Amino acid sequence: GGFWTQSGWNSTLGSICKGVPMICLPFFGEQMVNSRYVYGVWKIGIKMEKCWMERGEIEEVIMRVIVGGE
């Protein structure tokens, strides 16, 4: 499984504590920095590059996390 999150600090800590990989879609504030740590430093999730996606793109991202273990 995985967790689709805006990368707020509480969500990030909750996912880390439970060992759940994250799909990060930050919007503002500390969310940008948190998501950089999640995918760039800690390597426990991926960061979405755009807010609007087609159904197939969303499915691809979810499968990357579930199957690929990102």
Is pLDDT above 80 for 70?
Answer: no
Q: Where are the domains of the chain?
A: 3-66
β-strand partners of 24: 5, 47
**% of the chain exceeding 70 in pLDDT:** 97
Higher pLDDT, 55 or 7: 7
Indicate the CATH number of 3-66 among 3.40.50.2000, 3.30.2320.80, 3.30.300.30, 3.10.270.10.
3.40.50.2000
H-only helix segments in 1-70:
9-18, 30-36, 55-66
Q: What is the pLDDT of residues 17-30, one digit of tens each?
A: 999 999 999 999 99
Is pLDDT above 60 for 43?
Answer: yes
| Residue the block writes with tokens 């999150």 | 5
Starting from the edge strand earliest in sequence, which strands make up the sheet with 45-47, in order?
3-5, 22-24, 45-47
Q: What is the pLDDT of residues 52-67, one digit of tens each?
A: 788 888 888 888 888 8
